[in-house]
Chains A and B, each alone.
Chain A
């Protein structure tokens, strides 16, 4: 195996790192969702602020990571957890029950751990391409494509396409904005799959490099 194809991740305990720049942008945007301003409250209505923030943070932190980057997703996630705590507080204050907030929170937290971890494992190796393809297919591409077809194209989506679309964590979070009742098992399965693919490939790569 050439050095380029070897895993390029650095140990988490290493004293390098900063939050991904995108997460700083995400921080500003998500705080904007929580501001006590009439424009914000009017435009977002009674939708779940936690879901809005979770949507932003899941999309941002699951992005495929650059091979040469030193940004640490855990730092970004640390920032995200502060925002999500604030958003959950606002949802509870708005009258949502603790069980409703929790039903949205625990899958989101799993997404926020599994997807960025998978992206980090894939960083700087051949798996990065695989991860990027799977990420585009299952995370953002299909829901966006479906949205474009439905809203702009006015098309009825075939059932199999809807199924793939419903496997996207982002699609699931978006469905929870106004209290959807779908179970998160399918998108969680996709997140676990992505994590497992990159983890297994990473173990194989490490074994080869040791050999």
Chain B
């Protein structure tokens, strides 16, 4: 069975009091509307007459006390709400207030292969200049060669995950400029930067056992998803995260407590830490939000988890009175 389901949400405000609907859909059914929700919600399915599927979809009610209304727009099948689940746990306010990671959109660049081919093309045209038609053909050949021999690389729009570890627990903060692939079964709070920008939620249920949820927003919009992070006991369980390709720390006391960061470079969990030393500056978006006077560890994981390009860890230790 090939089934694709898209849930389109025009999101005009921060999600509050969200719920999750467990829907039972029976074919034939193609389009289903959810009424009584804060945003217009449309479910697109492609169910044959004898097919049925149970799906969980986010529900953003206008009034939490009102039951959702299902309106079938196209199809003769049926849809019913099996269950309404409570809204997933929200991220701690302290985490929300902290500055978010900002993936940088690097401008597109021509790869080295392209430049080499271009240089070779110029030389070849120069060599063939005494036979003008040959020069033209050589130029065309290298022009096409530059285009196809060095496949265009999309601008680097890193999907970044930051593991926030602190008194509130551990939370992964996933940030993507325009698209975020959500892990199945995660409790996710999705918001947009700038706030209120529209986004679209697609549930690809080709494999009903593992529907893939993909949040997509317009260009220039950041999607930020938060979900509880891995259960780790810090620093005892730090080894589970693997090695760190960059490591900074700031002490809660002494010389290195007032904005000075020690750069330790590569750090293998469990190995001894060197004496504090100045080095490379850490990314600004990770620096902000950590009040002076508390111990902070920051680092970049050598092996990011699946679905992200970069993974950072930020641990703000509880302030010691």
Contacts and interface: CB of A to CB of B under 8 A. Distances in A.
Interface in A63-118: 72-75, 77-86, 88-90, 92-95
B114 interface: yes
B142 interface: yes
Contact of A93 (B109, B131, B132): B109
B129 A27 contact: no
- The 7 A-B pairs of least Cβ separation, nearest first, read A78-B139, A85-B143, A92-B152, A93-B108, A81-B143, A85-B146, A82-B121
A81 B140 contact: yes
A20 to B, nearest CB: 11
Contact of A89 (B132, B138, B150, B154): B150
B144 A85 contact: yes
A73 B132 CA distance: 8
B133 A93 contact: no
Contacts of B153: 93
A89 B148 CA distance: 8
A85 B145 contact: yes
Given A77-B136, A89-B114, A95-B155, A82 B143 contact: yes
Contacts of A34: 110
13 contacts: A13-B133, A16-B130, A72-B129, A72-B132, A75-B135, A75-B136, A80-B139, A82-B142, A85-B142, A89-B146, A89-B147, A93-B110, A93-B152
Contacts of A74: 132-133, 135-136
B110 A17 contact: no
Contacts of A141: none
Interface residues of A, number: 32
A18 interface: yes
Contact of B135 (A72, A86, A88): A72
Contacts of A85: 118, 121, 142-147
A12 B125 CA distance: 15
B23 interface: no
B142 A19 contact: no
B10 interface: no
Given A83-B118, A94-B108, 14 more contacts: A13-B131, A17-B129, A72-B132, A75-B128, A78-B125, A78-B140, A82-B118, A82-B121, A84-B143, A86-B146, A89-B147, A89-B152, A93-B108, A93-B154
Contacts, number: 102
Contact of B155 (A77, A79, A88, A94): A94
Contacts of B128: 75, 78
Which applies to chain B's interface (DSSP): helix, strand, loop or mixed?
helix
B125 A79 contact: yes
A163 to B, nearest CB: 33
Which applies to chain A's interface (DSSP): helix, strand, loop or mixed?
helix
A80 B140 CA distance: 9
Nearest to B129: A75
Question: Which of B137, B142, B147 neighbours the largest number of chain A CB atoms within 10 Å of its CB?
Answer: B147
Question: Which of B128, B132, B147, B152 neighbours the largest number of chain A CB atoms within 10 Å of its CB?
Answer: B132
B122 interface: yes
Contacts of A13: 131, 133
Contacts of B150: 89
B283 interface: no
Given A85-B145, A86-B146, A93-B108, A15 B131 contact: yes
A150 interface: no
B108 A82 contact: no
Nearest to B145: A85
A162 interface: no
A73 B128 CA distance: 13
B235 interface: no
